[in-house]
Amino acid sequence: MSSRTVLGVTGGALVVAAGVGGYMFWQQGQEVSKADDAARAAVTAFARDWSARTLDQATYVGTSPQAAAANFATATGALGNGPIAVNVAKFNRDGDNATATLRVDWSLGQGRTFSWDDPVQLVKQNGTWGVQVSANSSLWHPKLQADDSFAVNTAPGSRGEIKGAEGSDVMTNQPVYDLSIDPVKATEGSVTQLQNATDIPGLVTKLQAAKKSGSKAPIPVVTYRGDDYVVVQNAVEDLTGIIVEQRQQPLAPTRTWGQPMLGSVGPATADMLKKNPGKYRPGQIVGLSGLQAQYDQTLGATPGFTITPHSDTSQVLYGTPAKSGSTVATTLDPRVQTAAEKALAGQKGKPAAIVALDVKSGNVLAAANSPSYGIERAMSGHYAPGSTMKIASAYALLSKGFDPNTIVPCPKNVVVDGYQIGNFEGETAGKPKFSEDFAKSCNTAFVNATKGFSDTDLQKAANALGFGVDWSKQVGFAGAYAGNVPVANGPTDKAVSVFGQGRVLASPLSVAVMAGSVARGSMIPPALVTTPAQDGSRTPKPLDAKAIGELRSMMRLTVTDGTATELKKTPGGDVYAKTGTSEFSEGGKSGAHAWLAGWQGNVAFCVLVEDVPSGKSGGTVAAPVAKDFLTTLDAS
């Protein structure tokens, strides 16, 4: 019994001891919780002050609130004044020290949010928790050094270049200079000087309007190529309120070279900004015309936006570096294009065009236009082709077995269904062979020779030569015109079509394709752009070999004894050609366009000169231009 009593007492003592120990553990837990809460409250208050940008109200260890706030302003100034959300993501305390991870979300505008995890340390000092500031690292981002700052970097990226055959330079990135007026700083005097130096009228009026409206937006004036800017540099650089900014832009060898086919580059227009506000932004450099506009998505750069430490701008903390545009590869041969440009320079701005093709491949070697800043007519023009259409008419006859030695009279006039048709200058050539009718370009002989044509014979022959068939998928140039030979709708329509009048339409490109097909002996759709890759087959389609051989002889006869004798002594070898003079009547005005199509060696070509003087023809106007082109090409 006594033993049970002893055990009972002992057990009671144990219960009492356990109760005292449990109280002590509970008390310690309460103290731990209070310490955790105090440390957590300190870091939560710091996160709140950061979010509110009231860093001078936080508690720090190692610096003063004012110094920390000043350091924050310096370090983060580049990020702007957008909303900030800072939250405590992780927390841990160990005695009088604690660590926390803050999740920072800084709104930069335009849908951008710069987010990062920022580790901070806290120390309890004199009974108060404060954020530890280190002399060796930044409090604001783990990748910033002490006293470092964020750098916001924007870059437009380099626009892609346009290349020619075998990677030759066509439009390459070169320095340009943008001149604009700061309406706040500029004076009427400085803008008057700018107006005189640039020879651009109306600038003072624009400045006055901007000042009256209170606009602070720069007023664009002009963009100069490097060699042009040198001429005005001294007169404009020190003018009050005149902004000169240099950048890179794709440029052709000269301002006029390859225009308007290649197109231009510049700031997005007001109309573009209005129609596509999501695609374009003010000041964005884009393609405005020609290939530059058509392939803007390929050529255009993706602007870069990055945030980095100021101490190491290669370390991207947020954003994406600029991405340069891609190359557009073409078949243009700079040597051939330059020769074409020089030949057209003699026209002194008169509307004209030259297209040159590689005979073997059908590739476009050159497409030159005059005036250079007018419409694109070489690839896209719509004209009656005149007697160059006799290439197709003759091929239609010869492929049916017609003998070029057949005598076909060339009277002054013929009557078809009551309609009188004559030759260009009302000439007659008696009773020559058909090959001579071709060389002398006799309309009436062709009308008589093709009386047996069906309504589709000319169309089929032209299509076989690549004229009037759809090769838009292969050429890679928006608006390139393949020509059109409609099904004849009556005897008169059929008669005038065989010498390229009536409803027949062509571009210089389509006529050059036809000449190239004869030179090659097969039809290949033309190509200008090869990258990005174009759709459609370019498999050669063979032509009637016998007919082609006879047609070649007739085109050579045109040069030696016909309407293209201007080309007889052209350097570089034998030239094969067909002249044409197409009459037109538009808007109460009538006149004629001069044509010449043919080839020399591996270069097929077509020359068009618009609205020639009365009595002039393809042989007297277009042929000399072709000779200049071939002569320059041979010498280059």
Dump pLDDT digits (tens) for 456-477.
999 999 999 999 999 999 999 9
CA dihedral 27, 33, 38, 39 (to 10 degrees): 130
- Residue 43 — very low, low, confident or very high, per pLDDT cuts 50/70/90? very high
Tell me what pLDDT residue 280 has. 86
- Mean pLDDT (whole number) for 174-199: 97
- What does the mean pLDDT of the chain come to? 93
User: Residue 30's pLDDT is what?
Assistant: 52
pLDDT beyond 70 at 7: no
Q: Model's pTM, two decimal places? A: 0.83
What does the pLDDT look like over 493-537, one tens digit per residue?
999 999 999 999 999 999 999 999 999 999 999 999 999 999 999
What string of DSSP letters covers 171-226? Answer: EEEEEEEEEEE-TTT--HHHHHHHHHHHT-TTHHHHHHHHHHHT--S-EEEEEEEH
Paired tokens of 346: 């003699």
Q: What is the pLDDT of residue 26?
A: 45
pLDDT confidence of residue 278: 81
Q: What is the pLDDT of residue 434?
A: 97
Mean pLDDT of 138-156: 95
Residue 1: the pLDDT is 37
- Helix 508-520 vs helix 390-399: crossing angle, to nearest 10: 30
Mean local confidence (pLDDT), 55-59: 96
Q: Report the alpha-carbon distance of residue 296 to residue 266 in Å, rounded.
A: 11
**Residue 185 CB partners (closer than 8 Å, separation 6+):** 240, 241
- Residue-wise pLDDT tens digits, 411-442: 999 999 999 999 877 677 789 999 999 999 99
pLDDT at 10 over 50: no
Q: Sheet holding 60-61: strands in order across?
A: 60-61, 128-132, 112-125, 97-109, 84-94
Radius of gyration of the chain (CA): 40
Quick: pLDDT tens for 100-133: 999 999 999 989 999 999 999 999 999 999 999 9
Contact present, 625 and 344 (Cβ < 8 Å): yes
Question: What is residue 427's predicted lDDT score, i.e. its pLDDT?
Answer: 76
Mean pLDDT, residues 334-338 = 98
What is the arithmetic mean of pLDDT over 306-319?
Answer: 96
Per-residue pLDDT for 190 more than 60?
A: yes
Amino acid at 558: T
- Which of the four pLDDT bands, split at 50, 70 and 90, describes residue 32? low
Above 70 in pLDDT, residue 277? Answer: yes
Question: Is the pLDDT assigned to residue 594 strictly greater than 80?
Answer: yes
C-alpha closest to that of 482 among 462, 497, 502: 462
Query: Per-residue pLDDT for 12 more than 70?
Result: no
Q: What is the pLDDT of residue 63?
A: 95
Q: What is the mean pLDDT of residues 263-280?
A: 89
- Give me the percent of the chain exceeding a pLDDT of 70: 95
Nearest to 84 by CA among 137, 56, 47: 47
Q: What is the residue type of 402? A: F
State the average pLDDT over residues 218-236. Answer: 95
pLDDT at 592 over 80: yes
Evaluate if residue 29 carries a pLDDT over 80. no
Of 58-62, 183-187, 276-280, 381-385, the range with the lowest mean pLDDT is 276-280
Please, what are the domains in the chain? 2-147 (3.10.450.50), 162-330 (3.90.1310.10), 334-635 (3.40.710.10)
The percentage of residues in the chain with a pLDDT greater than 90, rounded to a whole number, is 87
Closest CA to 578 of 553, 558, 605, 599: 558
pLDDT > 70? residue 3: no
pLDDT for the residue 283 = 82
